[in-house]
Every structure is written in C-alpha cells, then in structure tokens.
Chain A
Amino acid sequence: MKKLLLNFSMVIAFVGGILFLHGCYPDNSLTYDQTDISLTGYYDSVDFNKITTYFMPDTVFPLRDDTTDKTPIEGQDLILSQIAKNMQSYGYTRIYPDDNSPEPDVMVTASAIMTTTVSVGWWYPYYPGWGWGWYWWKKSPEQTSYWYPYYPGYYPPGWGWGGVPYYSTYTTGTLMLEMANPEDYRIVDGDTVVPLYWAGGLNGILSGSSNEARVKKGIDQLFIQSPYLNNN
C-alpha cells in the first residue's frame, strides 16, 4: 500500500513537472509591431511600366458594420500621404479631378477594417469585395460633370492571392490598398467587375500608442516588397 501511494505521488510529481515546463514554454507573446504582417500580390498580365498616373480618393474607406457611420478612420491623412509618398518615389504622378490633367491610368484606394476577428479572413482567396466597390471619376462626354461607376473589384484567375490557411483568434486592424483600372472591366457571371492590378494588405493587433509608426513602416514595406511597381 505504501508503495502504491509512493508510485501515485510520483505521477503527481510528473504532472506538476509538466505544468512547470509549460511555464517555460517558448514565449509566444509578441510586441505589437511583431504582429504586423504585410501581404502583397499582383496580376501578372499587367505591365506596370505602362502605368504612369493614378487617382486616389482623399478618404480611407472604413469598413464597419454600421455603414451609416462615415467618421474618418484614425490616421487617415497619414495613411494617404504615406501611400502618395511611396507612389511618387516609384515614379507615378497623382492626378486630381479638379485640374486639367489627362485621365489617370489607374485608381488606388485604401480601406480599413478597424477591428475584426481574424476569422473574417483578409488572407482568404477571393475575398468577396470590400463592400464599397470602385468609385471612379471621369468627365462625362460633355465635359461638364463627373460620373462614378460602381464596380466591385475582384481577383482575376491567375492572381496569386491567398490560398494560405491560418488560425487565430485575436482582434486586429487591417489596412488594404488596391490598384485597378475601372475602365478595364470584365463581365464575370453577369456582374461587371474590375480586376485588381495590385493589392497590399497590412494586418496587426492594434495598440494604444504606436499605431502611427507601424502604419508608416507597414505601407513602406508593401512597396518595398513590390519592386515590380517601381517605374524608375
């Protein structure tokens, strides 16, 4: 009986040991910036050297459950100016609707999900649109006003986006940049859609203080890892 008790206590000691080791398990907690991921992809039948001008709306489109909430997202101006800076350094000229410049070759838009559980899957292949479609500006034939077609973007076949399975339960923020030419539209399954020429996604766990520096660094990284965009 004594032996049995002793054996039993050994087993308890071992279980205790496991719990102790569990405490020594490699620390999986990261700093906020170490949760940042930059993902980019492009449509391989696009010749980026032929693209010289772009239009970018002055809004980062917020993707919220409450679609009537049009409050600009935090850091909107910083995000847009950082994108513009990178586009400029890669040799693209920004076109504004109110000057007499020619129409832009492509449109670049930014959108953001403020917080979401990752199971939404921004990394999922063919994520069905970001809800707002492609606002486009173009002068009407009479050259008097602007009109705005509204096509959803899509990832054309052969576009390498996604296909990576992931698992996570954190709450994160995502910034998405997309480049497309709404005049280069397709009809797919009865819907008018525009193929995305390039897309870049930033994703990370939002923190209270360091988001600005991370967004700047992240946007830079999206361009750094997309050297094919560089027209210089």
Chain B
Amino acid sequence: MKKNKIFLTIIFIVTFSISSFAQGGGAWNFTYNMGIPMGDTKDFVSKSSFRGMMIEGRGFVTNNLAVGGAGGWQVFYENLGWVTENVNETTTINGYKRKYINAVPLMATAHYYFFPGNLMPYIGLGLGTYYIDARTYMGIYYIEDEAWHFGLAPELGLSIPFGSSNAAFTANVKYNWAAKTKDTSGQSWIGVGVGFSYVF
C-alpha cells in the first residue's frame, strides 16, 4: 500500500514535470559521475567508482523551482585477486575474486535555484528507486544480490551558462541513499557529477 502511494506520487511528479516543460522552459543535464562508496557499499566495494553517468530533465514551474526526472548508471568494481576463504566450517574455496555493483537510479526530482541568471546554484532532492545488482565473482561463478530499492538523493549543484548560449556548465554533489530491502542490504554513496546543461 505504502509502495503504491510512492509509485503514484512518482507518476504524478513525472507527469506534472513533463507537462510543465511546455510552460516555463527547463534544462537537460548530462553529467559524468564518480561515486565514493559509504556504509554497507563501502564494506562491499571499498574503491571509488569512476564509471557513471546521469541524465536529468527539469522544467521550471516557478522562477526558482524546477521539477523533473533523472536516470543514470554507476558501476563500482574491485579486484581482490586470488583468495582462499571458508564457505562454512568445513568447506574452503580458492579462486580469483572480483566484486561489482551496478546501480541504476531512476528518480523524480525537485530543484530550487537561488538566483536564476548567470550563476545558478541550486539544491535539490531526488525521490524514487535504485535498481542495484551486486555481484561477487569467484572465477566465472558469481553470487548475486539484485533488488529495486526505495531511494533518496539530496543534491547540491551549480550551473554556469556559457554567455548567452543555451549551453551551461554544470556540476553537482549528491548523496545517494538506497534503502535496504527484505533480502538485500542498503547502499549509499556520494556522487560527484560534472557535465553540461542544455537550457531551453
């Protein structure tokens, strides 16, 4: 029931934001993303991710407030090399071990721009879901944890338009928080994105 409410809210926000594009203009953001693992994510893969990207669409509903949607992809990877470990008290395994997290955030977003104009700092919040696939490989075998997580992503960002053109430089820092599910642990990481915006 609660999940349904969240889902309906997301649908509402996305639909609302798409329809609002027609009214007061908006922006498309394209960023390259890095990820610094935190918490359980750090326990699983300790290395930072340099493989990620995100696209966001935002439509202004007032001069300062934009709503929209965001989707992306972040890959965490760590190679642990040859390891010997106990599966249980009497079973031991040796193999070439690697770990992966593939995370796909899909979010409805709201952003508040403090000074729409030449230098546009903003704060924002994403609400939605993270599809996360965490795998531990031994040789060619892997154990997989795969789930859709409820997620939140508070964000600080900055857009700097290039002169009078439609393009802008954009950078942001996000805290990605994916709630734990019944079968899988929660995940969290700090995302740093740099890229450009197309403002219309």
Given contacts A6-B198, A13-B30, A18-B53, whether A225 and B141 have CB atoms under 8 Å apart is: no
Q: A18-B53, A38-B95 are in contact. Are A118 and B73 (CB under 8 A)?
A: no
CA distance A7 to B100 in the complex (A): 33
A28 to B143: give the CA distance in the assembly, Å: 15
Whether, in the assembled complex, B130 has its beta carbon less than 8 Å from a beta carbon of chain A, the answer is no
B84 closest partner in A (C-beta): A225
Q: Which chain A residues lie closer than 8 Å to B53 at the CB level? A: 14, 17-18, 21
Alpha-carbon gap, A99 to B93, bound state (A): 37
Contact check, A21 vs B51: say whether CB atoms are below 8 A apart.
yes
Complex Cα distance A161/B140, Å?
Answer: 19
Cβ-based interface call for B200 (8 A): yes
In the complex, whether B96 has a CB less than 8 A from a CB of chain A is yes
- Measured CB to CB, the closest approach of chain A to B107, in angstroms, equals 16
CB of B91 within 8 A of CB of A160, answer yes
Tell me, in angstroms, the Cα distance from A118 to B142 when the chains sit together.
12
A40 to B139, CA, bound (A): 16
Report the interface size class on chain A.
35 or more
Task: Tell yes or no: B88 within 8 A of A by CB.
Answer: yes
Contact among A18, A36, A41 with B92 in the assembled complex (CB-CB below 8 Å): A41
Whether B94 lies near A160 (C-beta < 8 A) is no
Q: Are A10 and B28 in contact (CB under 8 A)?
A: yes
Report if A39-B93 is in contact (Cβ < 8 Å); known contacts: A17-B53, A24-B51, A26-B77: yes
| B120 interface residue (CB < 8 Å to A) | no
A115 on the B face (CB < 8 A): no
A to B CB contacts below 8 Å, 28 in the list:
A7-B198, A7-B200, A10-B28, A10-B198, A11-B55, A21-B51, A21-B53, A26-B75, A28-B98, A28-B137, A36-B95, A36-B139, A37-B141, A38-B93, A39-B92, A43-B90, A160-B89, A163-B87, A163-B88, A164-B87, A166-B141, A167-B141, A167-B144, A203-B139, A204-B139, A205-B140, A225-B84, A225-B94
Interface of A with B (CB < 8 Å)? Answer: 3, 6-7, 10-11, 13-14, 17-18, 21, 24-26, 28, 30, 34-44, 118, 123, 159-168, 170, 172, 203-205, 221, 225-226
